Structure 1
Amino acid sequence: MLISQSEMVDRLVSHISADKNFRAIKYYGFLSNRKQGEALPLVYDLLDQEEPVESKPLNYTQIMHYLARIDPYERILCDDRMSFVSTVFLNSCNGIIKSINDIFYSL
């Protein structure tokens, strides 16, 4: 049995009953997990489109520059820039107090 592409799409769409099931169409054809890696670049070529490039996630400083237009590491009083040394993850108030004591007594 040989059918046209438009008839194939019509038959496939006829099996979609409600809006909640519409996402099931992504599991067929070139969007299926098995075929996506090899077929999707071909689809982009046929449509004369560039493949989307994944961007790097923004860090805290870049987000603050973009959203608030401020430099979070800027020292207001001396017009200098702070440097990031490390991150401390604490589980309890005792950990916070211990870390504060360690910082102040090490000066």
Structure 2
Amino acid sequence: MTDAPATDTPQQAELKNPFSSVPIEITISVGKARPLIRELLTLKRDAVLPLDKRVDDAVELYVGERLIARGELEEMEGDHAGQLAVRLTEVADLQDGLG
């Protein structure tokens, strides 16, 4: 009879790799705008800058330049009502990235 491999608790994993508790910044991209420079120079408050995405399109999550996931924007509820959040719909294999 063989024993099943032991899995580390999050605390044990953190002790083995001190970098696991370092925060990382994720950038959420909702779209890009491509105005002409002459249009950009005339932008004023309340100007509308159209993006290349629709409201229902997926947003993309990046760490640096690397795409790590896609998701949908949603509004949080309860104590955090009004705060934006992202519900992940696709997560990259961090070894190979998203296709």
Q: Tell me the TM-score normalized by structure 1.
A: 0.25
User: Which structure has the higher relative contact order (CA within 8 Å, separation 6+)?
Assistant: 2
Structure with bigger strand share is: 2
Judging by fraction of residues, say which structure has more helix.
1
TM-score using structure 2 length: 0.26
